[in-house]
């Protein structure tokens, strides 16, 4: 997200594919996601086109702007699922704060063991 995979609009397709491959290898090395996991939805995320700071408000800060972006995003459900599946503890993902995601997991029996 937020330009994690670079700007795929620049350069030709081979440059983009090479850049994405290199960045994916780094993330695999860091253990940030499973190599078999489909994260192509991240390229469609509206948050990648906005200020990332809105998605990580200071304690007590407003998440209103981030949630407004999420409400319009076509990949909101995939984003939320990813954040829940990966126990993401910071930021607004899929239109929910960390507290809201914890509550959601508890209410839907998705509490991790």
pLDDT in tens, 15-50: 666 666 665 555 555 555 555 667 788 888 999 888
pLDDT in the model for residue 17: 63
So what's the pLDDT on residue 59? 86
Q: Measure CA 12 to chain center.
A: 25
Number of C-beta neighbours around residue 50 at 10 A: 15
| pLDDT at residue 98, as a whole number | 92
Which pLDDT tens digit goes with each residue over 57-111? 988 889 999 999 999 999 999 999 999 998 999 999 999 999 999 999 999 876 5
CA distance 80 to 1: 13
Give the DSSP letter string of 13-56: HHHHHHHHHHHHHHHHHHT-S-TT---GGGGG-GGGGS-GGGGS
pTM: 0.64
Q: How far apart are CA 95 and CA 68, in angstroms?
A: 8
């Amino acid at each position: 997200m937020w330009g994690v995979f670079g700007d795929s609009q620049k350069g030709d397709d081979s440059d983009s594919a090479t850049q994405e491959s290199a960045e994916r290898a780094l993330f695999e090395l860091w253990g940030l996601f499973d190599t078999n996991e489909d994260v192509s939805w991240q390229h469609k995320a509206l948050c990648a086109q906005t200020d990332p700071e809105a998605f990580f408000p200071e304690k007590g800060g407003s998440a209103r702007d981030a949630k407004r972006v999420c409400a319009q995003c076509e990949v909101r459900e995939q984003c939320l699922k990813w954040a829940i599946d990966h126990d993401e503890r910071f930021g607004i993902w899929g239109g929910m704060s960390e507290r809201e995601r914890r509550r959601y997991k508890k209410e839907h029996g998705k509490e991790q063991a």
